[in-house]
Amino acid sequence: MQNLNPTRISARRGRDMMLSGALSLMGGLVVLAVGFFILVLFSSGVFGSFLMVVGLVIGGVGVGLIVRGLTYRKDNEIARAVGDLLGQELNQRFVFIRNLSRPGLGYIDALLIGPPGALVFRVTSDTGVFMNEGADWLERKPGRDYELSRKNYTRECVTDIYALRNYLAKKGLTDIPVYGIVVFVSSQVQLQTRRAVVPISELRTLMLVLRRDYLQQDRVADEKVRRAVEAVYA
């Protein structure tokens, strides 16, 4: 199995974001200076103050973009653990892409593309006691009964599934089936599931769950697999 991380793409996007932030910051400072001089030299309080506010907003956006570029995620370590496991079980007809982020697609923890189709991963390192009922998630705190969890891994995974389906459709790849799975990588988690909307797995049971569902049959020709990989990774 090919285990890919779009490091160069992520690095380039981070640099582009910082460059845009720097330009925005400089533009904001220019507008702020113009507003200040108009306020001081021409006593035009309303217009000068307006320009200064606009300059501060533009500069603030620039600072935000710079910070976002500096902190742009280069890899997803817990998704890498999933990829390492899959790499021991799957052949070279499969491609695993982690830390995937593209315009029009959004962010996906990891994606497996192969003859069975495309499989979206929602990967989490959360710990605790959880119960998945349909599309709902319950969590049990120590000494308490189950309560509705603030996190809904199923909803997040389904959102990524629809995003990928729409993205592939725009690339003319409507016949590639898209599936999803939620994977807990921590050993400090207890899971129960009832009528799960998408499969739920721990890292140690991942291959059992995949063989029961996703890996049951080949559905996509190798050429379509290649095109799908190029669509999301190239």
The pLDDT tens digits of the residues spanning 174-198 come to: 999 999 999 999 999 999 999 999 9
Residue 2 within any structural domain of the chain: no
The rounded percent of the chain whose pLDDT value lies above 90 is 56
Question: Could you tell me if 42 and 57 lie in one domain?
Answer: yes
Residue 15 within any structural domain of the chain: yes
The rounded percent of the chain whose pLDDT value lies above 70 is 88
| Cβ contact 150:136 at 8 Å | no
Residue 167 within any structural domain of the chain: yes
pLDDT at 75 over 90: no
Which of 55, 70, 85 marks a domain boundary?
Answer: 70
Per-residue confidence band for 142, with pLDDT thresholds at 50, 70 and 90: confident
Per-residue confidence band for 116, with pLDDT thresholds at 50, 70 and 90: very high
Residue 1 within any structural domain of the chain: no
Question: Could you tell me if 105 and 185 lie in one domain?
Answer: yes
Three-state SS sequence of the chain: CEEECCHHHHHHHHHHHHHHHHHHHHHHHHHHHHHHHHHHHCCCHHHHHHHHHHHHHHHHHHHHHHHHHHCCCCCCHHHHHHHHHHHCCCCCCCEEEEEEEECCCEEEEEEEEECCEEEEEEEECCCEEEEEECCEEEEECCCCCEEECCCCHHHHHHHHHHHHHHHHHHCCCCCCCEEEEEEECCCCEEEEEECCCCCEEEHHHHHHHHHHCHHHCCCCCHHHHHHHHHHHHC
Per-residue confidence band for 223, with pLDDT thresholds at 50, 70 and 90: very high
pLDDT of residue 43: 64
pTM: 0.74
Amino acid at 229: V
pLDDT of residue 211: 94
Q: What is the tally of structural domains in the chain?
A: 2
Question: Could you tell me if 102 and 31 lie in one domain?
Answer: no
Of 71-80, 114-123, 190-199, 222-231, least confident by mean pLDDT is: 71-80
Which of 70, 99, 116 marks a domain boundary?
Answer: 70
Per-residue confidence band for 156, with pLDDT thresholds at 50, 70 and 90: very high
pLDDT at 73 over 60: no
Q: What is the mean pLDDT of the chain?
A: 86
Among residues 185, 192, 179, the alpha carbon closest in space to that of 134 is found at: 192
Beta bridge partners of 190: 129
How confident is the model over 96-114, as a mean pLDDT? 90
